[in-house]
Structure 1
Amino acid sequence: MRYNPINKSLFERNRSRFADQMKPNSIAIFHSNDIQPTSADGVRPFIQQTDLFYLSGIDQEETILLIFPDCKEESHREILFLKETSEEIAIWEGNKLTKEKARELSGIQTVYWLSSFENFLLSLVFDTEHIYLNTNEHLRATSEVETKDARFIKWCKNQFPLHKFERSAPIMHQLRVIKSVEEVEAIQEACNITAKAFERVLKFVKPGVWEYEIEAEITHEFLRNRSRRPAYESIIASGFSSCILHYIANDQQCREGDLLLMDFGAEYGNYAADLTRTIPVNGKFTDRQKAVYNAVLRIQKQAIQMLVPGNNIKDYHKEIGKITEDELINLGLLDKSEVAKQDPTKPLYKKYFMHGVSHHLGLDVHDYGKRSQPFEEGMVFTCEPGIYIREESIGVRIENDILITGKGPVDLMKNIPREVEEIESIMNS
């Protein structure tokens, strides 16, 4: 693996915490993601199912984790099933994980080959009453392709129709929202790699470069620092494209006088960083660009201070909305009298700032977390206000990753330049 192994104690604790939430006399089963095809004989690079990784630390395809806390046979309370290396696989792909290496990574002592899974499940499941099955219950999830989890649910219900089926997702959402020390360290490393990429592009960007060239510089820095890939599709948006929230074409030339909005982050050990910075292509903000940029920066600085235990997403967004209104009035984009009589369910600031300010961050870029849950110590949020003035081709977003602690918010990207003077100084050095 490219990244340094995460201590197996993290995954041992995670499994123990999951088992504590299971009903008595229950078994839980987690599958790795499918390998996704492209066309002909092509496949996409494998990315592990994050719940399985969270519980096992195993980063290999065709893996199954079984948890059975009440099993009378102690060695069968945790079982890992792995794809066995054949001579042909070894020739074409290289060796897969050995049982010994899997034990070292996961802390699970009982490891069998995948081919024995069904027979082994049959030998255990009739001693249980409940079967916990995993599904993707993320609010933003769309699933047009049937997943391994979905196929397994159908198989299980056909094979064991009289068992009681339970959802693993609520437990996983409860556990994963609070990050451990090891997880924060992995996120911090992803942020550190992302910082190096930003420093690189600050010295690279100039009028005439293409957005995809900037993306290439970012990806180069990721790969040379043990990141396997971007944590999500990088947004490299110049000129008017800076006002398109999920612009990923990255195929335009950066021109004199344009702003360049870049939203990118490295993954490290499956954990994500999420950074946005907006810079002037020529190294110097115009007065108008600087005014909009500093307005967004003031919003962000105030928003970060609200990421404290006990606050909640509804009140947080409401307060940031008020701050944004004042900034937009000062920029001449909103009229104070019109704001005073606006429909509170349709605030006028949404014309220029139409997305949320924060989302959970972790193994997934948009990580698990309920909107109704108050902020707690150990949560990691992005903080990403923006102002988008389409008629002026000015789009500004500034995003940092914030750890909530009992002593106040900790900015995991505090060393990444964001002040106008810092950015201009580095670009012109």
Structure 2
Amino acid sequence: MKHTLLPVSEFTGRRQQFFQQMPENSVALFAAAKEVTRSNDTEYPFCQDKNFYYLTGFNEPDALLVLIKQKDQDELVCQSVLFCREKNPMQEIWHGRRVGPELASGEYGFDASFACEEIDELVPKYLEGKSQLMFCQGADEAFDRRVLNWNSQVKATVRQGGKAPAVLVDCSSIIEEMRLIKSPAELDIMRKVNRISGQAHQRAMEKTAPGKFEYQIEAELLHEFARHGARHAAYGSIVAGGDNANILHYTDNCDALNDNELLLIDAGGELAGYAADITRTFPVNGKFTKEQKAVYQLVLEAQELAIQAIAPGKTLAYLNEITCEHLTRGLHGLGILTGDLDELITARACKKFFIHGLGHWLGLDVHDVGDYQVDKKRQQLRSFEPGMVMTIEPGLYIPLHDVNEDVAAPVDEKWRGIGVRIEDNILVTENGYENLTVNAPKTIEEIETLMAKAANAHATAAGQ
């Protein structure tokens, strides 16, 4: 299960960074994920707990990381301890190799390693005499109960002189802030997974044609991810033809692709735990209609406007403001929105058709951790800093049938069934931004040229 592309020093450095934020005489606990049964005796593909992985690089289930910060003879000592599954030849024959406690310390840079079977005996001893106990509270109720039970065991020894941590600290915010700023090594992986995912979107465009099914295009995406080392999709791929694009989290991917309709694909690979999250929308037959082109170009302009405004000190609230104004002006110009333009802009009238947020943090999780600093008006006021990575993904959605349609100002039939979203992954740099999504065709000309070339190649091959 070892799949990290990062050096051990990356993980030991993160643990040192976390130690610096731990109070003296404290213990922090981080649990690995458990395998999850899919059906009877088969499991879902294993996905490690992201906070645990961030601090360890260790990719086996059932493990536990213990970080201890205490004084020893007036010297402040920081110690990292891993509990993991023991080597077991019979289990490894059936289910795959294990690292084992004997090798874990050397391979992953821990100060000590023990078998999982020793957790309940040793963890209470680590808690004894400590002032504070830190863990990510609420992430896993079963683990929360286990932590409280260990602490209760220490409390039960008070008459024998035992002393349990009196303060329980939720350390989620500490590690989330660490994860929000990416290191150079992390960014190298995110560039790679973006390139892989961009190639997958290219392949999808080349393979799309009327009469194919959404699941066939999904298969092309997964093929391209895997053959470049991104063994898994970062999330359930959205391959939504026609009006299905107006279902934001559509993952059925079962319908036929029809001529003169658009195909919206929201898909990204996962590489060494890091996600890409890219969306492209393109015509099934390779040629935008007049109406499709108008809506698509409006979304593209809004996205580019937002991306070009990214720089340290800017906020998602500001990007939302300029994006919504541009989309509202554009929809008014197309006649999709009617009324006084200034009033429409003030009311952010585009939100009837742009029904989700503009973007989110990206990293080990697709919707990555990190405080957005949302105010009472739900504005995201967190100032951008170098090393942050986010998605920028404006969209417009005009369903065939809208139960909430304003009968006084219905949308013209020619716009019905159009759903467009365009999404790139953006790094905040010292002087502005870097678009990590470099090879997924995005302009109308790029898309139509690529698809025409693929169609001609297919026709030539079929005629031979």
Aligned counterparts of 1:188 and 1:330: Cα–Cα separation in 2: 37
Judge which range, 102-111 or 293-302, deviates more.
102-111
Aligned counterparts of 1:186 and 1:343: Cα–Cα separation in 2: 40
Q: What's 1:376 paired with?
A: 385
Q: What's 1:385 paired with?
A: 394
Aligned counterparts of 1:415 and 1:343: Cα–Cα separation in 2: 34
Q: What's 2:439 paired with?
A: 415
Deviation string for 1:171-211 (max 9, x for gaps)? 01211111111111111111111012112111100001100
Residue 173 and residue 2 in structure 1: after superposition, are their counterparts in 2 closer, same or farther (change >3 A)? Answer: closer
Contact 2:353 2:396 in 1 (8 A): yes
State the SS of the aligned residue for 1:388. strand
Residue 4 and residue 76 in structure 1: after superposition, are their counterparts in 2 closer, same or farther (change >3 A)? Answer: closer
Q: What's 2:291 paired with?
A: 288
Residues 117-128 of structure 1 mapped to structure 2, 5 A cutoff: 117-128=119-130
Residues 210-221 of structure 1 mapped to structure 2, 5 A cutoff: 210-221=213-224
Contact 1:380 1:402 in 2 (8 A): yes
Letter in 2 for 1:62: D
Aligned residues: 419
Contact 1:76 1:110 in 2 (8 A): no
Q: What's 2:59 paired with?
A: 59
Aligned counterparts of 1:305 and 1:105: Cα–Cα separation in 2: 43
TM-score when normalising by structure 1: 0.93
Aligned counterparts of 1:57 and 1:256: Cα–Cα separation in 2: 47
Q: Which runs of 5 or more residues in structure 1 are unaligned?
A: 138-145
Aligned counterparts of 1:136 and 1:399: Cα–Cα separation in 2: 31
Q: What's 1:309 paired with?
A: 312
Residue 342 and residue 331 in structure 1: after superposition, are their counterparts in 2 closer, same or farther (change >3 A)? Answer: closer
Aligned counterparts of 2:138 and 2:6: Cα–Cα separation in 1: 24
Alignment of 1:151 with 2:148, yes or no, is: no
State the SS of the aligned residue for 1:30. strand
Residue 117 and residue 16 in structure 1: after superposition, are their counterparts in 2 closer, same or farther (change >3 A)? Answer: same
Aligned-pair CA distance for 1:319: 2.3
Given candidates 145, 164, 179, the residue that maps to 1:176 is 179
Aligned-pair CA distance for 1:306: 2.1
Aligned counterparts of 2:2 and 2:444: Cα–Cα separation in 1: 35
Residue 17 and residue 2 in structure 1: after superposition, are their counterparts in 2 closer, same or farther (change >3 A)? Answer: closer
CA RMSD in angstroms comes to: 2.0
Report the structure number with the largest CA radius of gyration. 2
Contact 1:75 1:109 in 2 (8 A): no
Letter in 1 for 2:29: I
Q: What's 1:141 paired with?
A: none
State the SS of the aligned residue for 2:182. coil
Aligned counterparts of 1:135 and 1:360: Cα–Cα separation in 2: 21
Letter in 2 for 1:12: T
Residues 285-364 of structure 1 mapped to structure 2, 5 A cutoff: 285-337=288-340, 339-341=341-343, 344=346, 347-364=348-365
State the SS of the aligned residue for 1:38. strand
Q: What's 1:85 paired with?
A: 87
Aligned counterparts of 2:328 and 2:189: Cα–Cα separation in 1: 36
Alignment of 1:279 with 2:282, yes or no, is: yes
Contact 1:2 1:226 in 2 (8 A): no
Residue 94 and residue 42 in structure 1: after superposition, are their counterparts in 2 closer, same or farther (change >3 A)? Answer: closer
Judge which range, 7-16 or 117-126, deviates more.
117-126
Aligned-pair CA distance for 1:336: 4.6
TM-score when normalising by structure 2: 0.86
State the SS of the aligned residue for 1:327. helix
